[in-house]
Amino acid sequence: MAVYIDPLKFPGELLLTVEKPARYTGGEYGSLAKRDALLQTLIAFPDLYEIGMSNQAFRILYNRLNDITGISCDRAFAPAPDFEELIRARNIPLYGLDTGIALGDLDLLMFTLGYELGITGVLTMLDRGFIPLRKTERGEGDPIVIMGGPCVSNPLPYEPFIEAFWIGEAEAGFFDLAAELRDMKQAGAGRGKLLERLLDHPSVWASRETTLQAAGKGRAVRAIDTGFASRPARAPVFPVPSMKPVQHHGAVEIMRGCPNGCRFCHAGFWYRPMRQKSADQVLEEAEAFVSQGGYREISLSSLSSGDYRHIEGLVDSLNRRFGDRHISFQLPSLKVSTFSLPLLGKISEVRKSGLTFAVETPAESWQAGINKTVSRDDVDAILRTARKSGWRKAKFYFMIGLPLDTLDRTEEEEITNFILDLGQRTGMHFNINVGVFVPKPHTPYERAVQIDEDSAAKKLAHIRSRLKTRGHKVSISDPFVATLEGVISRGDRETAFLIEEAWQRGCRLDAWQEYIKKDVWREVLEKRSPQKESDPLPWSMIDSAVLPGYLKKEKEKSGKGEITLPCIENCKHFCGICDKDCKLVENIIHDDKLLDASREEELPEKLEIQEPPIKPSSDLPSWRIIFSFSKKGSAIFHGHLTIIEVFSMAMMRAGIPVQYTGGFNPLPKLEIVAPLSLGVYADAEIAAIETEDFFAASEFRELMNQNLPEGFEIGDCENYHIPRGTKKYSLSSLLWGFAYAMPEGSTRGNSLQAADTLISAAQEKSYRQSRMENSTGPGYGLKRTQVLAKKPGPEDTPNSGESYFKIFRELYPKIL
């Protein structure tokens, strides 16, 4: 019998002892997993919630698997050290945020690994899920553990912990395979048979070492989604995070793969070939993120957005469709050769975008070596025009340690001279980000020697010291983190045991400076055996579909400073992705039927400077909806700024004609009277929203309650018309105070005792029969009601806040 955790009962009030407890409570709008599905799966992201909920692959897997009848896909994230300590001390297993299912009770536990340093998060999640770390120690009662993502292009450093690796893109067969596993389970198949079927797939790899159920295999071929551009649009909208992630916007993947072949770029080779969605697909997915998700910022995601054909016509179409709804669009990956200020002006119509240049290395001969061209004169021309159009700053990305013949020049001097020269020419200050190059598998530089930590540190210190004194802001990578990333990226099976030792000694969340234990990692890495250049590549059993001979040829061209042209029509590169006539590329990339060329329009010759929208005058009439709302359950762990965002997105989903502020960053005219402390319930908080025209309060209440996440509910609502020239009183100016009440029978001592006796057998399967499900759990948290307009008398002391809203209802028109 599966165990389901209710975090509001256990850990309960102890959640208030950890940072950002909303990471662990779930309850978001659009949660899709279900308890009664035949095949129980979970997608696990080995980093914190706010990182994982921004991950595109994570969201695709979650949405697509939950679309399949009979399959549930829950989600979980690596715990921060404080929460890990809490659940370890209380013997509470890590659980899915939608259903609460304990990780050890799943059929399939899936990890997506996009960054090598996330592997200690994988081990933490296995351990806290009460799942043995080593695959050879797992039995019939444990889930099958599978891993995918770009990092498994070399699976050996993770192989002792993972039964099976999915190589490539999930859309190219994984969802069909999951449906087969569902059918097999329905027919009575156990864990061993399911694992055998997994390993039989050509894009699944496992080591030849025999597990308890099945033998491994020697080779796997990368799965390529040939239907990327032809399938009906399906946006991975859900769930909509309540707690703000690092990238809180909808992400429409307009293109997968990249035509440019930058020799340092793992993604550029791993995701070949380039495939582009049609404009109609992009528009449909953007509509889903807006109307179903409530997002007001949409990223047009790709490795090189400027290489999307008809990109300016696409942005025009998006602006025409969404501009009146205050939706803004971002192009996060524009290279200089596809950069145009008219395009930047189009994506800045609603919200002003920044100028970003990924130069990588400044000298033109070095750029040819990495197969990239960024002319200093072109950048200068763009910056000069941008300055005239209102931009004052720009961002630059560089790398040090690229495997190039620098002769008598140094990278650090070239980078600083490049920036100082541009700064003098343009009169602008820049934000500079300098990273350390890490060689990756399946690229032309897969055998390159990585720059050592000390040399990298000296170069970075030189760049920072010279540029900061000239008024530029400089951010640099941690050379040790780059070294560690390189060790894992190109590691072998021995590396896995070093990782395990580091984890056993407390290494967690190593991508975070506040958590990484460098001293432990240094001691562990000293035990590493040196690798010889003649040694076989550890990842040779993974067929990326790019020919090894092509990578070798590209490495030779790098040494000569020769450019390989982008992979477009009539490509003659013969890298291995396509047949000799490049038909695969033509079918996937260049079929004009998929590009909707009719949307391309004549573009302006120069950028027209647009003034910010005029903010409405205060003497114009306005319509206001004043409402009360309750905050209960998982919602009590959200702070004030989160609540503002929750209501804003719900109003977008509900189609409420909200009035916005002016300027380049318009915001809804929403007011919540006063912030509410974490952990405090609310019966009747008071808030108001201004609308563009009259909108019935009763309809507002109904629509909002259909679109709010768990724990929030709109109560009383009233319409108010504020005539022209009338002063608008803020709600906070009418606030008298608060009424607090402690729920009956709630004491901290009882809560702690209930949590202390939660589970008696931490690592035993008998914990599944504990009283976890049947316990009533602690009742904790004050309840607050806002009191507006006057101090309540003895007749105004009800259990709820309704009469207080009534007081406000009576007095507010008089104040007007």
For residue range 155-189, what is the model confidence (pLDDT) as tens digits? 999 999 999 999 999 999 999 999 999 999 999 99
DSSP letter at 96 equals -
Using 50, 70 and 90 to split pLDDT, how confident is the model at 234? very high
Residue 434 CA to residue 395 CA, distance in Å, equals 11
Query: For residue range 374-389, what is the model confidence (pLDDT) as tens digits?
Result: 888 888 888 888 888 7
Cβ neighbours of residue 89 under 8 Å, at least 6 residues apart? none
Interval 322-336 mean pLDDT:
83
- Phi/psi for 483 (5° steps) reads -60, -45
Query: For residue range 518-534, what is the model confidence (pLDDT) as tens digits?
Result: 999 999 999 888 777 66
Whether 813 shows a pLDDT value over 70: the answer reads no
Tokens representing 25 are: 């409570």
Query: For residue range 37-57, what is the model confidence (pLDDT) as tens digits?
Result: 999 999 999 999 999 999 999
Q: Which domains does the chain have, with CATH numbers?
A: 249-353+567-598 (3.30.750.210), 622-742+781-815 (3.30.70.580)
Interval 254-282 mean pLDDT:
94
Residue 299 CA to residue 8 CA, distance in Å, equals 34
Nearest to 383 by CA among 428, 420, 338, 346: 428
Burial of 38 (0-12, 13-18, 19+ CB in 10 A): middle
Three-state SS string across 46-59, please?
CCCHHHHCCCHHHH
Tokens representing 110 are: 């899936």
Using 50, 70 and 90 to split pLDDT, how confident is the model at 399? very high
More confident residue, 726 or 710: 710
Burial code (b: 16+ CB inside 10 Å, e: under 16) for 326-359 equals bbbbbbebbbbebbbbebbbbbbbbbbbebbbbb
Residue 441 CA to residue 292 CA, distance in Å, equals 39
Ranking 94-98, 237-241, 599-603 by mean pLDDT, the lowest is 599-603
More confident residue, 721 or 347: 721
> Alpha-carbon torsion 157, 160, 161, 165, what sign?
positive
Whether 621 shows a pLDDT value over 60: the answer reads yes
N- to C-terminal Cα separation, the chain: 61
- Residue 431 in contact with residue 472, Cβ under 8 Å? yes
Interval 454-472 mean pLDDT:
95
Using 50, 70 and 90 to split pLDDT, how confident is the model at 676? confident
Interval 63-88 mean pLDDT:
98
Please state, in angstroms and as integers, the Cα–Cα distance from residue 703 to each residue in 208, 568, 619, following that order.
56, 48, 30
- Residue 116 in contact with residue 485, Cβ under 8 Å? yes
Using 50, 70 and 90 to split pLDDT, how confident is the model at 756? very low
Nearest to 624 by CA among 656, 598, 599, 594: 656
Q: For residue 475, what are the β-bridge partners?
A: 433
Nearest to 502 by CA among 478, 525, 480, 531: 525
Ranking 145-149, 195-199, 528-532, 653-657 by mean pLDDT, the lowest is 528-532
Identity of the residue numbered 770: S
Ranking 36-50, 195-209, 455-469, 768-782 by mean pLDDT, the lowest is 768-782
Interval 607-620 mean pLDDT:
44
Whether 758 shows a pLDDT value over 50: the answer reads no
DSSP letter at 603 equals P
Whether 769 shows a pLDDT value over 90: the answer reads no
Would you put residue 777 in left (φ > 0), alpha (ψ -120 to 50) or beta? left
Whether 776 shows a pLDDT value over 80: the answer reads no
**pTM listed for this prediction:** 0.89
Interval 538-565 mean pLDDT:
95
Residue 123 confidence (pLDDT): 98
Residue 761 confidence (pLDDT): 32
Ranking 64-73, 378-387, 419-428, 756-765 by mean pLDDT, the lowest is 756-765
Tokens representing 734 are: 């009418």
Residue 58 confidence (pLDDT): 97
More confident residue, 113 or 726: 113
- Residue 255 in contact with residue 282, Cβ under 8 Å? no
Residue 720 confidence (pLDDT): 87
User: Looking up tokens 């006796």, which residue turns up?
Assistant: 757
Residue 474 confidence (pLDDT): 96
Tokens representing 600 are: 């391309």
Query: For residue range 115-160, what is the model confidence (pLDDT) as tens digits?
Result: 999 999 999 999 999 999 999 999 999 999 999 999 999 999 999 9
Residue 811 confidence (pLDDT): 53
